[in-house]
Amino acid sequence: MTLIYGVDVGGSGIKGAPVDLAAGVLAKKRTRIPTPQPSTPGAVLDVIEELLAEDEWAGPLGVAIPAVVVGGVARTAANIDDSWIDTDVAAELSQRRGREVVVLNDADAAGLAEMRYGAGRAADGVVIVLTFGTGVGSGMFVDGALVPNTELGHMEFRGEAAELSTAARLVEDDEMSLKRWAKRVNRYLLLIHRVFSPQRIIMGGGISKQFEQFATWLDVGCEIVPAELRNQAGIVGAAVAASLGKDRP
Ligand code: BGC
């Protein structure tokens, strides 16, 4: 069994587990530690080391973070501390761990997991995976190959970054009903469809559990399906990226 440890850094929690890459499942229950505040790189990397110590892990590691990541370097910081910008996260982690660590965008990671084990299995053409949570992340695939760092959550929609009015957080914090949110998301998906003409849109994030309840308000002219790996996708995808040994699989 090939096991690689995956870490998913989120706005509220940092989660990790060893991943069984043959099956695409967590080999043991995930460990979660609240995201430190402020969520500076140093503080977050300390928490990652805590996770690894708790799970007694010294093997290969992949880490998904909520930022544009180019060559292991974070280039944006929308829902984490600004000090991430221009941090060479891969180099810092590799130095701490004494081995190469792969770092990539969290939605790209979730997308890799869905494409290999979930709702995107064997899907050709353009497939877009969207993760709705604190922000909105995206992973775009062309015939199974990732186009990294697409950041569709930051497309302009209603005069501002789309994630400000379409994040699942708005429903979770009771600022918006599920129906109002879904109707608004439908308009956002129409925009995405107009620009990219995907064959399939995969909706991820915790809210995808309620997909059957809100699917009735979605109609954009392509297939829309719920993600299958739910809140494990980031962890599994981080491990997949590490198995490929690079941040642009
Ligand atoms: C960030 C993305 C991230 C998404 C989901 C956005 O605010 O810009 O990089 O993928 O949140 O966490």
Distance (angstroms) between ligand 1 centre and the Cα of 149 equals: 9
3-class SS at 57?
coil
Q: Please tell me the distance from the alpha carbon of residue 112 to that of residue 6, in angstroms, as a whole number.
A: 13
Instruction: Categorize the per-residue pLDDT at 230 as very low, low, confident or very high, splitting at 50, 70 and 90.
Output: confident
In angstroms, rounded to a whole number, what is the distance separating the alpha carbons of residues 222 and 229?
21
For the segment 199-223, what is each residue's pLDDT rounded down to a tens digit?
Answer: 999 999 999 999 999 999 999 999 9
Q: Is 106 in the pocket of ligand 1 (CB under 6 A)?
A: yes
- Cα 84 to ligand 1 centroid, rounded to whole Å: 13
What tokens were used for 52?
A: 């690894």
Element (H, E) at 117: helix 106-117
What one-character DSSP code corresponds to residue 35?
P
Whether the Cβ atoms of residue 171 and residue 201 lie closer than 8 Å to each other: no
Confidence (pTM) = 0.97
pLDDT score of 22 more than 70: yes
Report CA(137)–ligand 1 centroid distance (Å): 5
| Confidence tier at 231 by pLDDT (50, 70, 90) | confident
Q: What is the pLDDT of residues 31-68, one digit of tens each?
A: 999 999 999 999 999 999 999 999 999 999 999 999 99
The b-or-e profile of 71-103 (16+ CB within 10 A means b, else e) is: ebbbebbbbbbeebeebebbebbbeebeeebbb
Q: 68 CA distance to ligand 1 centroid (A)?
A: 8
Q: Check pocket membership of 76 for ligand 1, CB cut-off 6 A.
A: yes
Q: Which residues on neighbouring strands pair with residue 15, listed in sequence order?
A: 8, 32
Q: Whose CA is nearest to atom 4 of ligand 1?
A: 137
pLDDT at 122: 87
Nearest to 249 by CA among 88, 53, 103, 78: 103
- Does the beta carbon of 11 sit less than 6 angstroms from any atom of ligand 1? no
| Residue-wise pLDDT tens digits, 91-148 | 999 999 999 999 999 999 999 999 999 999 989 999 999 999 999 999 999 999 999 9
Cα 153 to ligand 1 centroid, rounded to whole Å = 7
CB of 153 sitting under 6 A from ligand 1: yes
| Band (227; pLDDT cuts 50, 70, 90) | very high
Task: Answer yes or no: is pLDDT of 249 > 70.
Answer: no
Kind and range of the H or E run holding 171:
helix 169-172
pLDDT category, 246, cuts 50, 70, 90?
low
